[in-house]
Amino acid sequence: MSKTSQPPLLEKNAASADDFEFTLNQNINALIILKNENIAQYTQDVTDITSALVDLKWKNRREIYPLRFKEEVYGAVLSEIIHSQPKLKQIIISRLEENYQQIKTREAQTLSITRGLIEGTYKTPNL
């Protein structure tokens, strides 16, 4: 066997190695893209609004605790006022109910905007 017969085999092996390397790189890139898409889809599916709100509440617990304490103090004061002056009970309860309904309406609007932002369907009125 002469030296002239071996180089075509080496060239053929080098070409097939290059093809193999190219195919391998394409497969790796496709797997990386698929993995990233799966991660993005999984995180969107798992993270719902309730858990996000719980996370926010936990992160802001130092700011929320004084508000809860304030609510308890206001509740105790209102309870004492109602016990000492029963004629004011209806006025206090009606105002509390009115304020509660306003807060509830704002909360519903905020949640609908948040859902729209998460789903990508919310459009701002300015744009």
Give the Cα separation of 77 and 122 in Å (integer). 42
Type of residue at 101: Q
Type of residue at 16: S
pLDDT of 120 > 60? The answer is: yes
Q: Let me know: does 17 contact 79? Beta carbons within 8 Å.
A: no
Least confident span in 24-38, 71-85, 86-100 = 24-38
**76 phi and psi angles, rounded to 5 deg:** -65, -40
pLDDT of residue 35: 83
Q: Let me know: does 104 contact 114? Beta carbons within 8 Å.
A: no
Using a pLDDT cut of 70, give the percent of the chain over it: 79
pLDDT of 9 > 70? The answer is: no
pLDDT of residue 113: 84
Reported as a single tens digit per residue, the pLDDT across 22-76 is: 888 898 888 888 888 877 776 665 566 677 777 777 777 788 788 888 888 988 9
Q: Tally DSSP H helices, then E strands, for the chain.
A: 4, 0
Residues with Cβ within 8 Å of residue 6, at least 6 apart in sequence = none
**Cα separations in angstroms, 18 against 8, 11, 24:** 15, 10, 10
